[in-house]
């Protein structure tokens, strides 16, 4: 439209817009027909620092299942506990879990599954909020939970979503409690080596081999395809424990490496049939588990 005065008014259920030589009539609907905004009972409420929540959600939401066969895996688990909130997401091939400190623990212990779409929308809202212009209290997201709905309130914006019904899997039991081999690696170097190996992995399988020779302080990453050829990278690492080897889907591995915010990572394995764990070298509030590809 021209850069000039715009007249806007209502006429017979239409929104009239006039500006110089432009005339537009936009069909409307009666205000009564607008869907009711559900009211949320503010009994169970939790507070989290906005930046903590943003980072935590981004670190888990990518692992949500996109398949429709198990609806409870298509959301992020929010497990509210005294003084902390545990977030988890899995598609049954890999799992990401993050611990966040609650600013107040006034709500009771509770587990809810929030649809991935809602989480992505919340991330968009949080990213658009300007933290530097806020008071300390405004830099918090308040979360209200009812039987089947959740409301996120941040900087005056309220996002209400239904919850996913169903039981989230008891994933804690698949997290290995001890490991046979532990290795520390430079994250950026590992990402580079995995990307180089990925070129020679089998398409559709995306398999790359990680070998941990005992007492050698290196990890050997190999891949081979009958069409393209093969690739070997020896990466310096700090190694503890037994001789070991594992085959992983390089895409899942890269997803995890890209979401760990640490210079060095800790990789733990038991054997080639058992989930392996990735963590930041020092922090204990994040973990990422990958199921290996069986040979």
Q: List residues near a second copy by CB under 8 A.
A: 1, 14-15, 21-27, 193, 196, 200, 227-236
231 vs 259, which CB is nearer to a second copy?
231
180 vs 234, which CB is nearer to a second copy?
234
The CA–CA distances, whole Å, from 27 to 15, 17, 33, 34 equal 7, 11, 14, 14
Least Cβ distance, residue 225 to a second copy (angstroms): 9
Least Cβ distance, residue 263 to a second copy (angstroms): 18
Decide if 212 contacts 181 (C-beta within 8 A): yes
15 vs 283, which CB is nearer to a second copy?
15
Which pair of tokens denotes residue 133? 């212009």
Least Cβ distance, residue 276 to a second copy (angstroms): 22
47 vs 201, which CB is nearer to a second copy?
201
51 vs 234, which CB is nearer to a second copy?
234
Radius of gyration of the chain (CA): 25
Least Cβ distance, residue 232 to a second copy (angstroms): 4
Phi, psi of 240 (to 5 degrees): -135, 140
167 vs 227, which CB is nearer to a second copy?
227
The strands making up 140-145's β-sheet, listed across from edge to edge, are: 44-49, 140-145, 149-154, 157-162
Least Cβ distance, residue 6 to a second copy (angstroms): 13
Least Cβ distance, residue 227 to a second copy (angstroms): 7
């Amino acid at each position: 439209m021209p850069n000039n005065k715009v007249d806007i008014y209502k006429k017979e259920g239409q929104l009239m817009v006039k500006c110089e030589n432009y005339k537009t009539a936009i069909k409307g609907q009666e205000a009564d027909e607008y869907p009711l905004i559900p009211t949320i009972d503010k009994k169970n409420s939790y507070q989290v620092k906005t930046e903590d929540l943003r980072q935590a959600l981004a670190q888990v939401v990518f692992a949500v299942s996109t398949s429709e066969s198990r609806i409870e895996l298509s959301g992020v688990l929010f497990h509210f506990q005294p003084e902390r909130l545990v977030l988890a997401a899995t598609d049954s091939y890999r799992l990401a879990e993050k611990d966040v400190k609650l600013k107040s623990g006034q709500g009771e212990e509770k587990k809810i599954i929030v649809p991935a779409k809602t989480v992505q929308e919340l991330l968009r809202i949080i990213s658009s909020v300007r933290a530097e212009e806020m008071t300390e209290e405004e830099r918090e997201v308040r979360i209200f939970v009812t039987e089947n709905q959740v409301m996120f309130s941040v900087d005056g914006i309220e996002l209400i979503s239904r919850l996913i019904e169903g039981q989230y899997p008891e994933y804690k039991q698949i997290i290995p409690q001890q490991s046979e081999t532990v290795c520390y690696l430079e994250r950026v170097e590992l990402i580079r080596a995995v990307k180089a190996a990925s070129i020679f992995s089998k398409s559709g399988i995306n398999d790359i081999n990680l070998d941990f020779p005992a007492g050698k302080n290196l990890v050997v990453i190999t891949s081979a395809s009958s069409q393209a050829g093969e690739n070997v990278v020896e990466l310096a690492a700090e190694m503890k424990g037994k001789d070991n080897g594992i085959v992983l889907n390089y895409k899942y591995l890269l997803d995890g490496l890209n979401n760990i915010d640490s210079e060095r990572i800790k990789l733990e394995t038991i054997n080639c049939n058992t989930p392996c764990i990735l963590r930041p070298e020092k922090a204990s509030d994040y973990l990422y588990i990958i199921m290996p590809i069986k040979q």
